[in-house]
Amino acid sequence: MKSSGSTSEQSRIYNERIILHLVRQHPEISRVTIAERTGLSAQTISVITSSLLERQLLQIDGKVKGRRGQPSVKLSINKQGAYGLGINVDRDHISAALLDFSGRCILLLERVVSFPTEMLAKKIAEDLIEEVKATLGANWSKVQGVGLARPDYMDSWLETLVTDTDQRADLDRLKEALAYWQSDAFEFWLMQLTGLPCFCENDAVAAATSELLLASEVPQRHFFYLFVSTACGGSFVANGECYFGAHGKAGSFGLIPSATGKHGKWILEALSLSSLRRFFMEQQALWPATPVAWQDSQYTCLIDQWAEEVAFEVTPALASVIALYDPEAILIGGRLPTCVLNALIASMERSLMAHSMLPLPIIRIAQTGHTAGVLGAAVLPLYETFAPQQNLLLLSSKEK
């Protein structure tokens, strides 16, 4: 067996990404400060930053005077140095986002759908990408790749997740059409359409990645991310990186059975927009048409009741996450309205306090919030190309 190790080239790439990450967190940082924070030699930092400046990934924003010697230049991310394009295909929408190298969203597009078929998804994706190309012009060449975020098991649990009356009338045909999403065909189609590499993750992992790279505050290094859309999923972040487990399924929170099955046998059914829609239908309440409408007093009691019931359904699973993983925080992002999220978090905290003997982590709304899925997709090319990751330093062990 060969032992794991790193090459000088891998170390150089990792150090380069460490510096980029540091400059992203601390704009107008000096080389001296980079040396103090990283422990790298002045010569190494000079060589790497000179290369990054030459490749237009960094820019000089003036000079800062030191205590002695020549003034040190202030370094910042060059916003136009690179771009990330994201496509989010979900059960209820298809969206696209374009991020510049600083992580700022410069274009956000969305089309409402209901369980997208292959042809519909391709047509919408083509239209969205054309709008992105028109926005970038010649800078299209700086797009590092396409990030694709989509849920797993698109064609499953239709009896629970489909709330549209017409679609419910023929679920067999809908299931047959959605079987397309069992493969990675759409990913390869995107590569052929754009001529760019494609980075694909499920929507929960993409959303957690967006929190790591785009959060305005320094993110926690150990957190559990709950992504709630038409269904829900989860993602573990350990030591500042997503943790996937032996088979890539770590964090599959939605596949844990719910406590009583009242809102669905599985958590992905109970903690979801579909669950909330079903609840409103059962109470003969219209779905609020605008963000302002959600604040109407007629919905307050309904939201509180749903939040209380669903929090009870997921409490055993959340208590297990806390006991087994000990996260600093539980972050909730996705497409639930903010007032619903606030009620849900309050109910979760009350329920967990009554059912867990361990210290409870902070439960809060993720900073990327409602757009977490598509922003996470757009982050993927930038993250995979420029973010420091420990596995960059490792060579794969091989049996001989």
Residue 398 has pLDDT above 90, yes or no: no
Residue 254 is part of which domain span?
Answer: 220-366
Same-domain check for residues 192 and 227: no
Q: What is the mean pLDDT of residues 127-137?
A: 95
Q: What is the mean pLDDT of residues 355-381?
A: 90
**CA 145/CA 86 separation, integer angstroms:** 8
Same-domain check for residues 58 and 89: no
Same-domain check for residues 113 and 251: no
Question: Which CATH number goes with the domain that contains 44?
Answer: 1.10.10.10
Q: Of the candidates 378, 372, 371, 375, which has an alpha carbon nearest to the alpha carbon of residue 85?
A: 378
Q: How many domains does one find in the chain?
A: 3
Cβ neighbours of residue 287 under 8 Å, at least 6 residues apart? 277, 280
3-state secondary structure 136-163: HHHHHHHEEEEEEEECCCCCCCHHHHCC
Task: Give pLDDT tens digits for 84-118.
Answer: 999 999 999 999 999 999 989 999 999 999 999 99
Q: Is 361 left (phi over 0), alpha (psi -120 to 50) or beta?
A: beta
| C-alpha distances in Å from residue 322, one per residue of 236, 359, 363 | 11, 9, 11
Query: In the prediction, which pLDDT does 14 show?
Result: 85
Question: Which CATH number goes with the domain that contains 317?
Answer: 3.30.420.40
Same-domain check for residues 94 and 227: no
* Domain boundary residue, one of 59, 77, 95: 77
Residue 149 has pLDDT above 90, yes or no: yes
Which pLDDT band holds residue 399 (cuts at 50, 70, 90)? very low
**CA 358/CA 356 separation, integer angstroms:** 6
Task: Give pLDDT tens digits for 379-391.
Answer: 999 988 887 765 5
Evaluate if pTM is beyond 0.85: yes
> 336 is written with which tokens?
């639930």
Residue 39 has pLDDT above 70, yes or no: yes
Task: Give pLDDT tens digits for 179-231.
Answer: 999 999 999 999 999 999 999 999 999 999 988 877 666 667 899 999 999 99
